[in-house]
Structure 1
Amino acid sequence: MTNPSCIEAPLPKGVSDFLPETADKINHIAARIHQVFDLWGFRRMITPLLEFEEVLALGMGEELRGKTFRFDDRQTGRLLAIPPDITPQVARIVATRMHAQPLPHRLYYNGRVLRQAEMQSGRSREIFQSGVELIGLDAPEADAEMVAMAVEVLKNLGFSGFKIDLGQVGFYRGIMEASGLAPAAQFRLQEAISKKDVSAVRSILEAEPVSDQVKEAILLLPRLYGGREIVEEARRAVTNERSLKALDNLSQVLEILDIYGVSDYLTVDLGEIRGLDYHTGITFEGFVPGLGEAVCSGGRYDDLTAKYGFPAPATGFAFNIMALLASLSKRPDVEASRSRDFLIFNQKDERREALEIAQQLRALGYSCARDIIKRDFESSFSYAKKMDIRWLLVIGAEECPPDQVYVVRVADRRAITLPREALFEKSLDLKFDSQGENHG
């Protein structure tokens, strides 16, 4: 039914309203993620929605700066920014407000960020992030902890068949430093390698005066993808110290992940070089079946807090909640998160009993609303069905004595009669067996 008097109220492109059904699913997914973060000893922090642009820019690379929403602050005359990523905010907070506290810091966050997007791309400008930052540890075990947590979250969300792609940006940087290539040629190669375009890589190298050994190592980059045997294949292709050190680090992380028992979920991708201006070591992305984009990504970023005056090694990662929602929205547990427990339909003139029952059910942890509108059973039942309410609790029904209540399961209209006190047992078990009548 349309409202003829409704005003036209469009939203800016790239943002959305999330109605209760979707909001419930988002909250359910975020809660499952936070459950793992809490169990691993991380503490939640909340970052501001606005920052001074010049302060935020210290912690962002050129790519993120180009995607930042900026506007003037009437109060100060300074330029404000809406953060396009939460990690630089965490780095600022740790460096300026937590530097006197003992390391390491185990922190997690949940929030929305905004990023400029091309009008034609159709991509959302809002990104829902749930992530962790582990600041103050440069050990391979810290990197392994991030990967193991990502695996645990994906398992906790019910995924199977997912993969975590591991990279090491130091390997690529070592090859480029040893190549002697000009920055312009390196930039073109970076673009081609990130697209796994071997022919483009070969074409660029043919025009550059580099040794055959360097050419072979660079040409190998887009193909260095697979199991841990890739590490040894890469080791045979390079001689520079930085690349070899990066491979040693990756091997150590893989050994620790063996102890965690998550190796079956891992692949190695040494040609993955996105985020090169930001990351300093291990990087990773998580992919789930049926979805073409990563649901989580992160890695080591040892130079970030130093930009705010507090040098500290760091690693972390974040989940893209909307990407997870796209894959999980039809799963039974996520669908069930939209549901509420009870709607009370009172057929008595007096409201005390209905209100008391509602209070007692809420005290036991059940969601419970009272149908305050005066209407017939069918109308109340229809409302419960549309609102994804599991049970319609009828007080004063003709079908039962005064000290009993009548409960209708909304999914199939099957009904049972219960003593009122049975509702408040700790393990309420509403059994609608084949003998239960069908209210209809």
Structure 2
Amino acid sequence: MNKYAIDGFNDIHYNELKVYDFIKDIIENTMESYGYRQVLTPSFESYDMYNIDGAFPRDKMFKLIGNDGKVLVLRPDATIPIARMAASRYRNSQEVLKFGYITNIFRDSSSTTDFRKEFMQAGIEYMGNSLPDCDGEIIALSINILKELGIKKIHIDMGNVTFLNGLFDEIQIEVIERVKILSYIENKNIGELKAYLDSIEVSKEISQILCHVPMLFGKFKDTVNQAKKLCINQKMTAALNTMEETYEIINSYGYEDYIFIDLGFTNQFNYYSGLIFKGYINGIGEAILSGGRYDTLSSTFGVNRPASGFGINISLLMDTLINRSDEKDDFNILFLYDDNKRRESLNLARKLRSQGIIVDYIHSSLEEGIKKENYKYILKCIDNSFELSTKTDKQLLREEEILTKLKEAKLCI
């Protein structure tokens, strides 16, 4: 173990960056095709901004003191600063704004499977639209990105914080008790949940409903019909109606087969106000993306503007897609040269690069330290010709013959 390494902060190597570039291009192109414009906020933000109404858990932030004595944090979330930026730059609350971003997030993770404290995240924020069409587009866009990346096994869980909030409206409990109940529900620990509800003297009717909530997950239509039977006020009913409207919109995109319900999951960010969702791929236990509606967040910055959005963990995506990258194709040609043939070799290397061919130009004295299996061709200057080698063939060719052969092999642009 390197004594200078810090747990949770990882180096990224060239083959990983190759996958990152692929993911980044797909995400940027997809966001742009839906009309989202990219923005970027500072790496450091005010601690007080993230602490408004407990919007973000304090113990998840990396804090430091600025030269002026103010407490700063490394960006632990992208939505809050974009809401701040939008409120300061676009004061008209009726204006519709569509922002996209790709940035680094710094967060003390509590995940059991992903221990990164710094990771790359992409996402979108759709502001000024309170309609279910907005939420439908956001979920459809997240699915579209995953499909464009070649991922086939996609599972989106939809929930709604208003459903449980409506149920909590029926009982008088402290915030700490509410957090405890939500923890039991999310972990689907029905036995402990029932015992705890009995200990704080929740009525039998409400207790039975709360104990049923952890089991409200599965196929959309079946689960929403079960949930309707548990509604005891208008807020709970309205939450389910919104989810059904959004589901029908996603159906119009042709993505309904990816949509499921889980009314028992919550989100660590307290700014969500309605529909929430998480996305999973390829059997990975950790959510690859999450998001939802946050209609009240912008008002804390002085502009009352409804909004919805999501973030997708690029670092987790890289882990998933890294095995698909062909490391042996990183370089097309290894060009080994000697001092006495430097001019001729440099001239040919320049011509090859001008044709779009990747050329790794290395002195022959370093040959033993090169992994030749990473290259399609090995090239050497011998007398007045060039030796072009593959795993199965070796030829001595003139410069013009080298260019012709590589064009035939479609290495050139």
Provide the residue aligned with 1:130 in structure 2. Answer: 122
Query: Shift of residue 96 of structure 1?
Result: 1.1
Structure 1 distance, partners of 2:10, 2:329, is: 19
Query: Shift of residue 163 of structure 1?
Result: 0.7
SS at match of 2:15: helix
Q: Deviations over 1:209-268 (max 9, x none)?
A: 444442332122100001122112111211311111111110011001111111111111
Q: Deviations over 1:81-116 (max 9, x none)?
A: 211112212111111124369832222222222223
Query: Shift of residue 178 of structure 1?
Result: 2.3
Residue 336 of structure 2 aligns with an amino acid whose one-letter code is F
Query: Shift of residue 48 of structure 1?
Result: 1.4
Provide the residue aligned with 1:277 in structure 2. Answer: 270
Provide the residue aligned with 1:240 in structure 2. Answer: 233
Q: Deviations over 1:181-233 (max 9, x none)?
A: 44443232111101111112222233454444423321221000011221121
Are 1:326 and 2:299 counterparts? Answer: no
Provide the residue aligned with 2:332 in structure 1. Answer: 341
Structure 1 distance, partners of 2:223, 2:92, is: 42
SS at match of 2:95: coil
4+ runs deviating over 6 angstroms = 118-122
Percent identity reads 25
Question: 1:347·1:397 contact (CA, 8 Å) conserved in 2?
Answer: no
Question: 2:336·2:379 contact (CA, 8 Å) conserved in 1?
Answer: yes
Q: Deviations over 1:309-366 (max 9, x none)?
A: 12211111111122222322212xx344971333333469454554454444444444
Provide the residue aligned with 1:15 in structure 2. Answer: 9
SS at match of 1:272: coil
Q: Which moved more, 1:143-152 or 1:208-217?
A: 208-217
Are 1:429 and 2:392 counterparts? Answer: no
Question: 2:162·2:273 contact (CA, 8 Å) conserved in 1?
Answer: yes
SS at match of 1:99: coil
In the alignment of these two chains, the number of paired residues is: 407
Query: Aligned match of 2:246 in 253, 260, 272?
Result: 253
5+ unaligned residues in a row in structure 1: which ranges?
1-7, 432-440
Structure 2 distance, partners of 1:321, 1:209, is: 45
- Seen in structure 2, the aligned counterparts of structure 1 residues 190 and 337 have a Cα distance that, compared at 3 Å, is farther
Query: Shift of residue 383 of structure 1?
Result: 1.8
Q: Which moved more, 1:114-123 or 1:39-48?
A: 114-123
- Seen in structure 2, the aligned counterparts of structure 1 residues 45 and 355 have a Cα distance that, compared at 3 Å, is farther
Query: Shift of residue 275 of structure 1?
Result: 3.3
Provide the residue aligned with 2:286 in structure 1. Answer: 293
Compute the TM-score of the two structures, normalised by the length of structure 2: 0.87
Question: 1:99·1:310 contact (CA, 8 Å) conserved in 2?
Answer: yes
- Seen in structure 2, the aligned counterparts of structure 1 residues 108 and 415 have a Cα distance that, compared at 3 Å, is farther
Structure 1 distance, partners of 2:193, 2:62, is: 35
- Seen in structure 2, the aligned counterparts of structure 1 residues 312 and 357 have a Cα distance that, compared at 3 Å, is farther
Structure 1 distance, partners of 2:321, 2:139, is: 21
Residue 205 of structure 1 aligns with an amino acid whose one-letter code is L
Provide the residue aligned with 2:26 in structure 1. Answer: 32
| Matching of residues 145-156 of structure 1 within 5 Å | 145-156=137-148
Question: 2:163·2:235 contact (CA, 8 Å) conserved in 1?
Answer: yes
Residue 163 of structure 2 aligns with an amino acid whose one-letter code is F
Structure 2 distance, partners of 1:249, 1:54, is: 33
Structure 1 distance, partners of 2:177, 2:339, is: 81
- Seen in structure 2, the aligned counterparts of structure 1 residues 221 and 339 have a Cα distance that, compared at 3 Å, is same
Are 1:61 and 2:55 counterparts? Answer: yes
| Matching of residues 404-415 of structure 1 within 5 Å | 406-409=387-390, 412=391, 414-415=393-394
Superposition RMSD in Å: 3.1
Provide the residue aligned with 2:298 in structure 1. Answer: 305
- Seen in structure 2, the aligned counterparts of structure 1 residues 270 and 20 have a Cα distance that, compared at 3 Å, is same
Residue 40 of structure 1 aligns with an amino acid whose one-letter code is Y
Structure 2 distance, partners of 1:397, 1:40, is: 55
Question: 1:172·1:273 contact (CA, 8 Å) conserved in 2?
Answer: no
Q: Which moved more, 1:359-368 or 1:219-228?
A: 359-368
Residue 317 of structure 2 aligns with an amino acid whose one-letter code is L
Question: 2:329·2:376 contact (CA, 8 Å) conserved in 1?
Answer: no
Residue 294 of structure 2 aligns with an amino acid whose one-letter code is Y
Provide the residue aligned with 1:391 in structure 2. Answer: 377
Query: Shift of residue 276 of structure 1?
Result: 6.1
Residue 372 of structure 2 aligns with an amino acid whose one-letter code is K
Structure 2 distance, partners of 1:96, 1:361, is: 51
Provide the residue aligned with 2:43 in structure 1. Answer: 49
Query: Shift of residue 27 of structure 1?
Result: 3.1
Q: Deviations over 1:254-303 (max 9, x none)?
A: 00111111111111111112236221111111112242211111111112
Structure 1 distance, partners of 2:23, 2:369, is: 28
Structure 2 distance, partners of 1:288, 1:148, is: 15
- Seen in structure 2, the aligned counterparts of structure 1 residues 359 and 9 have a Cα distance that, compared at 3 Å, is farther
